[in-house]
Amino acid sequence: MSISEVTPQTASIVPDERRLEFLPTLFGRSLLMIGENAVYSLMERLSPLDYGGGFWDFYEHEGKPLFLAPRSKSRFRITGEITGFQGEVSAEAVGIIATLFAFSHLSFQHQSEHLSEGYGRLYAYSADHPEASEIFQAID
């Protein structure tokens, strides 16, 4: 009998040729601009000391869109006023946090299956993320 080690599955960066379809698939066509802007605005509030704009990578898992993450730095300090969490996380983790917040905030204003499905998919993915503890503390 052998014991196999379970490795967490990781998200992959969406290739350039499929970037145009990422946001409409993640947020829905009617909310793609609102959703994208919500993520960027929330990021400014989450990490005002480290975030100053820049290029974002789009991540998917098993062919489904998950989250956006900034490429400008590898680590970000979360000190903003929208969460009681204070700490430093990877760019991927802060992107997950900002995207989860965007799904949540937008769901109060818009009825959309894209928002609820996207939130559920990303929340479930986050449970196996190496920084799951920090992600869940930040969104709590």
Question: Over 90: is that where the pLDDT of 133 sits?
Answer: yes
pLDDT at 28: 95
Q: Can you tell me the distance from the alpha carbon of 96 to that of 112, in angstroms, rounded to the nearest whole number? A: 19
Q: For the chain, give every domain's residue range.
A: 12-139
Question: Over 80: is that where the pLDDT of 5 sits?
Answer: no
CATH code linked to domain 12-139: 3.30.70.3580
pLDDT at 101: 97
pLDDT class for 4, splitting at 50, 70, 90?
very low
Q: What is the pLDDT of residues 52-107, one digit of tens each?
A: 999 999 999 999 999 999 999 999 999 978 888 999 999 999 999 999 999 999 99
- Across residues 1-20, what is the average pLDDT? 75
> What tokens appear for 38 in the block?
């919500």
pTM of the model: 0.92
Q: What is the full DSSP assignment across 98-136?
A: HHHHHHHHHHTT---HHHHHHHHHHHHHHTTSTTHHHHH
Using an 8 Å Cβ cutoff, are 121 and 11 in contact?
no
pLDDT at 83: 87
Q: How many CB atoms lie within 10 A of CB 131?
A: 18
The beta strand positions in 17-108, using DSSP E, are: 56-61, 64-70, 75-78, 87-90
> What tokens appear for 132 in the block?
């799951």
